[in-house]
Structure 1
Amino acid sequence: MLRFSVLDPLSSDRNEMGSVREEEVLTIFRTHPWEEMLAKMNNAPPTEQHYLPSIEFESVDRYAISVSRSEECREPGFNIYFMTYGTEDEMFAHLRNQVPEVVEAVLSNFAVSNYQDLRRQFVESNPSQHPIPSIAGQCEFCGRMIEAIRDDPCKVIVPDGEGLTKVLLAHTVCFKASVRVYF
């Protein structure tokens, strides 16, 4: 079973949809109202927009996959994010502007727990992506120590302009609060 969530563009909360069977993942992706969600987002002022239209699946063994749709993607492009957390081999990686067939292949691998192939696909498709070491530390925003729980630490990957990246650690709530300041 996988935990399934929907991120509505105009809601600041993740909509937990409950558990779904692995064989339901592709149907959920194919039938999600992507265009309706984009229209909803585009008709709202920026201050009311919280997320891109997204669906997320999370396994019990701490792997997650998120698929989002954006107007910035070429038609019919999707962004795919693959995450692990609370494990020795933590990783956050993404594939941008993917066609539905690629999304379906990634979701199929995720549904059958084929994480090694997923890691390889994400890293080989974008060599600048790499596993993020599992480290604890202080929040970049509030300065307090971060306790490793479900959503913390939030790891923010920032490109440095020279092909390298810096990983900032933060409490998820601190990061969300700081991002809202700019919108």
Structure 2
Amino acid sequence: MDYLIKTGCRKIVHFAAAQHLLIGKNRQNGYLHALYKNGIPVDDNLIFKCDNYNEAAHLTEKLIRSGNTPDAIFAVNDMTALGALSTIKSIGLKVPEDISIIGFTNGLISTMSDPPLSTIEQHGYEMGQIAVRLLLNRLSKDDDGYTPEIRVLKTDLVLRGTTKTLKEDKLGRGLLY
């Protein structure tokens, strides 16, 4: 989100997961926090429960055809982002010139789109290792001796072709290219 904002995006749609899921809440809270810390008012009309390709394709078309075209889309996962990308291109708009897109997962499919998808790397292999350790720990204890744990892993932004390029000058100011 911060990167999208640094590239000049202000009208950023969030395709969010269901809010009863912790992952959905965390990602939406990250979206809201980025808007808040950058002084951008929250527009509830830009937040949609949408976590799959077909829903994203439909909602993106609806947004654009209604004249409510966003500057950017921050999607809960890569497949959702790719649904938006497909529709944007079929309508004749350009990515990232007209609309930037960032997904979340950094799965193999994110490298195969045209243009390749900018995304958030969630380090799935490391996540799997931690999950196995937690499960083995859980299985080795009786019910009374176990305390549930929540682990949050660091993520990394992987910039590809669906976001504008931002380079910094010697003074640290972001410049678009």
- TM value normalised by structure 1: 0.24
Higher relative contact order (CA 8 A, sep 6+): 2
- Identify, as 1 or 2, the structure richer in helix: 2
The structure with more radius of gyration: 2
- Identify, as 1 or 2, the structure richer in strand: 1
